[in-house]
């Protein structure tokens, strides 16, 4: 895996005598994408993450882009932007579910990876009962 195939986060960990241990964490893109997918799937009202339409290069933020066809992540330093498409459970409130997705992805990326989420762009493709 080349260095361009990794997301990197500079970190420091305080130790007991107020000194810090500094270093860089390299994260495989599939780990970052898997964290986002797992987090989104736990949000009530999300039935599934689906394949999403491609995004124009003109709309692309700065940074390294990683894409598995369902989730696209652009990493710029310790900040990420992500795009995904979902099917919602019929009767779900779009605003409530999408706000929960943004919040939960932000918390997960911060807590588990030390990264800041700038944007979570969500395309709601469909509502379904889940019986299909």
Over the stretch 15-46, which tens digit does the pLDDT of each residue have? 566 677 777 777 888 899 999 999 999 999 99
Is residue 4 in some structural domain?
no
118 within domain boundaries: yes
- The model's pTM is 0.79
Closest CA to 43 of 1, 2, 84: 84
Which residue has 């979902």 as its token pair? Answer: 86
Closest by Cα among 128, 102, 25, 9 to 63: 9
Is residue 73 in some structural domain? Answer: yes
- Looking at the 3D structure of the chain, how many domains does it have? 1
Percent of the chain with pLDDT over 70: 80
Choose between 53 and 123: higher pLDDT: 123
Q: Is 99 helix (H, G, I), strand (E, B) or coil?
A: helix
* Residue 89 and residue 130 in contact, taking contact as beta carbons nearer than 8 Å: yes
Task: Quote the pLDDT of residue 19.
Answer: 73
Tell me whether residue 2 is in a domain.
no
Domain for residue 45, yes or no? yes
The pLDDT value given to residue 3: 44
* Pairing state between β 71-76 and 46-50: unpaired
Domain that holds residue 50: 28-128
Q: Is residue 110 one of the residues assigned to a domain?
A: yes
Per-residue pLDDT tens over the stretch 39-76: 999 999 999 999 987 654 545 568 899 999 999 999 99
Residue 38: both structure tokens together: 């797992």
What is the per-residue pLDDT for 36? 96
Find the CATH number of the domain harbouring 56.
3.30.70.1350
Return d(Cα 97, Cα 75) in angstroms, integer. 24
Give the tokens for residue 15: 């130790």
Looking at the domain assignment, is residue 105 inside a domain? yes
Residue 21, in any domain of the structure: no
């Amino acid at each position: 895996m080349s260095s361009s195939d990794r997301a990197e986060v500079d970190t420091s960990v305080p130790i007991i005598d107020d000194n810090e241990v500094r270093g860089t964490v390299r994260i495989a893109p599939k780990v970052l994408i898997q964290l986002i997918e797992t987090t989104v799937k736990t949000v009530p009202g999300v039935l599934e993450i689906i394949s999403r339409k491609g995004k124009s290069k003109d709309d692309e933020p700065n940074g390294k882009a990683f894409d598995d066809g369902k989730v696209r992540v652009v990493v710029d330093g310790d900040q990420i932007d992500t795009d995904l498409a979902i099917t919602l459970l019929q009767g779900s409130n779009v605003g409530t579910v999408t706000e929960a997705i943004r919040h939960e992805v932000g918390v997960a990326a911060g807590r588990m990876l030390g990264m800041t989420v700038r944007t979570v762009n969500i395309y709601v493709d469909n509502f379904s009962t889940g019986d299909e």
